[in-house]
Structure 1
């Protein structure tokens, strides 16, 4: 028997009813959350948590990269940036280096903040 979780249902409804711009914002926020979870995991020497969180952040960054429309010049620039972030996430995970994750999370936060500004101007 499945247990009803109202929070999960709310979260699922938020995702399925969100506009594409809002979905991108949710993805940035998710990546930030997972990177910060990985940082805490590394600080606590909880390698399993850190590894899982970094992998989730990598998946989000790869998804963002794959959804870019190559006909726009900015997509090429973003793709290069996403590739750099992805490689740094891999490096941080291999070396268990929270400092690299701190660098990456600030980059993703800047992307998120820029995206929020765009959404506000176009809404």
Structure 2
């Protein structure tokens, strides 16, 4: 097995991230997978597009499964994740790049909001 510096760096970043930072990374990774799917659709590479969309759906399912439903925001996120999952499912069947762009944008916005919330939380804790 050969040493892959990129994979090593990626693993180190995951190992040293807080649980709060990991949520932001999940949003970013899901959005990136959807954006890759859009490019694959442009290339008519439907197998890779499908794979990329499925990856985003798995990330959303993981985020949804980790919600603590005792908080009101968790119910709202659950509804939002469900909406995005349905939108991705339909887009995967139809090749709807507009739907993919919409969901990727939502995930980018969630990532940015989450990142800012974590920064604010860290300031309060300091």
TM-score bin, normalised by smaller chain? over 0.9
TM-score in terms of structure 2 length = 0.93
TM-score in terms of structure 1 length = 0.96
Structure 2 counterpart of 1:105: 104
Query: Structure 1 residue 24: deviation in Å?
Result: 0.5
Q: Which runs of 5+ in 2 are unaligned?
A: none
Structure 2 counterpart of 1:73: 72
Is the contact between residue 25 and residue 111 of structure 2 (CA under 8 Å) also seen in structure 1? Answer: no
Aligned residues: 122
Query: Structure 1 residue 112: deviation in Å?
Result: 0.9
Larger RCO, structure (CA 8 Å, separation 6 or more)? 2
Query: Structure 1 residue 48: deviation in Å?
Result: 1.2
Structure 2 counterpart of 1:40: 39
Structure 2 counterpart of 1:54: 53
Superposition CA RMSD, Å = 0.8
Post-superposition Cα deviations, 1:89-120, rounded to whole Å, max 9, x if no partner, equal: 11100111111101111111111111011011
